Amino acid sequence: MSDRLLVLVRHGESEWNLKNLFTGWKDPDLTEKGVREAKEAGRRLKAQGLSFDIAFTSVLIRAQHTLDLMLVEIGQTGLPVVRNLALNERDYGDLSGLNKDEARRKWGEEQVLIWRRSYDVRPPGGESLKDTLARALPYYVQEILPCVLRGERTLVVAHGNSLRALIMALEKLSPEQILKRELATGLPIVYRLNTDATIASKQDLAA
C-alpha cells in the first residue's frame, strides 16, 4: 500500500520577520534562528523515519534555503526540487518592506488589520488572501496532489499564506477558519491521505 505522504513546512524565521516588516515577494534570507529552525525541522522528519521522492518550494530564497538545510539533515541533498511562484508568499504590494508599526501610523491600525486579517481585501498594489489561494490552490491540485496520490512522498516548503491555501483544501476549511490558522516557522505538518485526497492522519511535529 502506498504511503500518500504530504509534509508542509513554513520557512524558518527570515531577516524581515525579525524586523517586523511586511515581506511578501521581497526576498530576504533566513536569520540565524531561521537556519536553526530549518535544521531542526529536518532532524524531526528524520527522527520519524521520513524520506521523500520530490519536494516543492517557492522562488523565494527563504523557502529554498529552508528546504536545502532540511534536506542536508534528512540526507537527501539530491532530491528533485520543483520551484514555482504559485507557492510564493502573498504579495503585500505597497506594504512590502514597511515596518508593521510604520504601516499602522500611515494608514491607521484598523485599515492595516483589515488588510492583514480579511479574506478578500487587497492592500494597495498587492494580493488578498483570496488572490493568493487563487494561484496556490490550482497548483496544489494540478501538480502537488497527483504526486501524493501516486504514492510519491512529497515535501512542500513555502510560506504562511500559500500554505494556508493547501491546508484550506486539505482540511476543507472555510475562509473564516483559515484566517484564524497560524503556522509556526519551521514546524513540519505531516499528512497521510486517503485515495480520495481526504486526510487519513495528521501530525504536527512540535518540539
Distance CA 103, CA 96 (A): 10
Helices 109-117 and 100-107: crossing angle in degrees, nearest 10, is 120
Q: What is the DSSP string of 44-77?
A: HHHHTT---SEEEE-SSHHHHHHHHHHHHHHT-T
Specify whether 89 is catalytic: yes
Catalytic residue among 11, 37, 40, 73: 11
SS3 122: coil
Of residues 89, 127, 152, 159, which has the active-site annotation?
Answer: 89
| Residue 193 DSSP label | E
Q: What grid cell was written down for 12?
A: 524558518
Q: Note if 11 is an active site residue.
A: yes
**Which residue in 190, 201, 167, 184 sits closest to 44, CA to CA?**
190
Going across the sheet that includes 189-193, the strands are 81-83, 54-57, 154-158, 5-10, 189-193, 199-204
* Alpha carbon distance 140, 40 (integer Å): 26
Q: Active-site positions?
A: 11, 89
